[in-house]
């Protein structure tokens, strides 16, 4: 067991009783969800997608609301906003619904990065906000991760200056799957949110294995200068419909709404509403994700490859090979894996899939690492 996963083993073994129950879900539940119907195509483990399509309930909702496609989405958006507000414990004026969380990330990048605004972020981390902001003149300050491949909050704080407009924290981080200690993160927010707005990207929040780990929405409720992004793409399996949201205090939320361009669509809205009601699919996804990660860990342990215990729906491991070389080798075995994440050029990100996907991945990795 390597230095990263040993440290977290007890946390994983001590998951809440609720998650232990999930692993005992009736296997017939899988029959109510379909799998990506690619036949003889490559196994897609490169985009952190949910391999299971939503439940029959959502499929029915989409069919039953087909006549809404002739109407603009704002006519029905209010109900979804209210459901999100209720879920997060805020008022509706804190909520900004977006076309996937990526649109929210880009809106924030535009507002706070334009005309030379500085943005501080970890390296490596998710790039959508950063690359979009840079096209509008932002200066990006990239700060390396610590030796545990976590955000180095102390080093990030040292980069704050009078030009800093936004601090981006992807938590859990993509691609490493690590989280920031919750106490340290809260202290960081309390100490620095008056110097710059802090953006907490929580796309993978639902997969966190740390019991009672807080969302930074709790600090938004206190009126702090914090933006939280969440998405329906991952645990809810709606990546193809493009719906996510931001939570921020009303003054900040109002600015973000003005920067949102595409918005979302009527299918995404009704599907997101049903997804919030579909607790069974949510639990099913969490359980299957854990099962898939455990499978990945076993093959990496067997190959004696170093990896990070993940709080996402992916695993980051050190292959010892240039990532582009490994990508090509795995693609020849019909398995697609994550893109390069400089400067960690010999680390690979593997998304979780179905158990059949995981078996094919394991066979392919064993072969290419031989």
Copy the structure tokens of residue 303.
Answer: 């190959």
Whole-angstrom Cα distance, residue 152 to residue 146? 5
In the prediction, which pLDDT does 23 show?
Answer: 38
Residue 340, classed as helix, strand or coil, is coil
Q: Domain limits of the chain?
A: 3-54+279-369, 57-277
Whole-angstrom Cα distance, residue 113 to residue 119? 7
CB atoms within 10 A of CB 44: 16
Pairing of strands 314-318, 347-351: antiparallel
What CATH number has the domain spanning 57-277?
3.40.640.10
List Cβ<8 Å contacts ≥24 apart for 323-327. Answer: 323/347, 323/348, 326/368
Check pLDDT > 70 for residue 7: no
Q: Compute φ and ψ for 108, nearest 5 degrees.
A: -65, -40
In the prediction, which pLDDT does 32 show?
Answer: 64
Smallest Cα–Cα separation from 38: which of 280, 354, 363? 354
* Tens of pLDDT, residues 82-135: 999 999 999 999 999 999 999 999 999 999 999 999 999 999 999 999 999 999
In the prediction, which pLDDT does 56 show?
Answer: 85
Alpha-carbon distances, residue 38 vs 51, 285, 354, 357 (angstroms): 11, 20, 13, 12
In the prediction, which pLDDT does 17 show?
Answer: 31
Smallest Cα–Cα separation from 272: which of 84, 104, 94, 51? 84
CB atoms within 10 A of CB 150: 19
Class at the top of the CATH hierarchy for domain 3-54+279-369: alpha beta
Which has the higher per-residue pLDDT, 29 or 311?
311
Lowest mean pLDDT among 260-264, 281-285, 335-339, 347-351: 260-264
Question: Which residues are bridge partners to 44 per DSSP?
Answer: 336
Q: What percent of the chain has pLDDT over 70?
A: 89
Copy the structure tokens of residue 152.
Answer: 């180095």
Q: Map tokens 């985009």 to a residue.
A: 47
Give Dmax (Cα) for the chain.
Answer: 57
Residue 277, classed as helix, strand or coil, is helix
Strands, E, within the chain: which ranges? 43-45, 95-98, 118-123, 139-144, 164-170, 197-201, 226-231, 244-247, 314-318, 335-337, 347-351
Copy the structure tokens of residue 272.
Answer: 């997101």
Residue 219 DSSP code = H
* Tens of pLDDT, residues 57-86: 898 999 999 999 999 998 899 999 999 999
Based on its alpha-carbon atoms, the radius of gyration of the chain, rounded to whole angstroms, reads 20
Alpha-carbon distances, residue 269 vs 68, 89, 97, 343 (angstroms): 11, 20, 9, 38
**pTM for the complete prediction?**
0.90
Check pLDDT > 90 for residue 40: no
């Amino acid at each position: 067991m390597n230095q990263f996963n040993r440290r977290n083993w007890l946390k994983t073994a001590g998951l809440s009783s609720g998650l232990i129950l999930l692993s005992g879900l009736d296997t017939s539940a899988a029959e109510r969800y379909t799998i990506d119907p690619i036949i003889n195509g490559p196994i897609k483990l490169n985009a952190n997608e949910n391999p299971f399509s939503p439940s029959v309930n959502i499929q029915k909702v989409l069919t039953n609301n087909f006549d809404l496609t002739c109407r603009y989405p704002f006519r029905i958006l209010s109900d979804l906003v209210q459901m999100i507000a209720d879920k997060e414990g805020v008022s509706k004026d804190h909520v900004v619904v977006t076309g996937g969380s990526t649109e929210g990330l880009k809106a924030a990048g535009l507002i706070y990065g334009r005309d030379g605004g500085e943005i501080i972020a970890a390296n490596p981390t998710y790039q959508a906000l950063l690359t979009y902001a840079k096209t509008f003149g932002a200066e990006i300050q990239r700060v390396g991760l610590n030796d545990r491949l976590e955000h180095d909050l102390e080093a990030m704080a040292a980069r704050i200056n009078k030009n800093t407009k936004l601090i981006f924290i992807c938590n859990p981080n993509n691609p490493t799957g690590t989280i920031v200690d919750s106490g340290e993160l809260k202290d960081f927010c309390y100490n620095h949110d008056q110097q710059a707005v802090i953006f907490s990207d929580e796309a993978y929040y639902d997969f966190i294995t740390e019991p009672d780990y807080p969302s930074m929405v709790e600090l938004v409720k206190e009126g702090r200068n914090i933006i939280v992004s969440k998405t329906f793409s991952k645990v809810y399996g709606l990546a193809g419909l493009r719906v996510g949201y931001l939570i921020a205090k009303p003054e900040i939320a109002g600015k973000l709404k003005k920067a949102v361009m595409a918005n979302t669509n009527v299918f995404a809205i009704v599907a997101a509403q049903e997804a919030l009601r579909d607790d069974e699919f949510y639990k099913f996804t969490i359980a299957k994700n854990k099962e898939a990660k455990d499978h990945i860990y076993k093959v990496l342990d067997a190959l004696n490859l170093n990896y990070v215990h993940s709080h996402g729906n992916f695993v980051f491991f050190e292959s010892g090979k240039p990532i582009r070389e490994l990508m090509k080798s795995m693609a020849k075995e019909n398995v697609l894996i994550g893109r390069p994440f400089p400067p960690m050029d010999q680390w690979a990100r593997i998304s979780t899939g179905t158990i059949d996907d995981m078996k094919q991945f394991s066979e392919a990795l064993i072969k290419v690492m031989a």
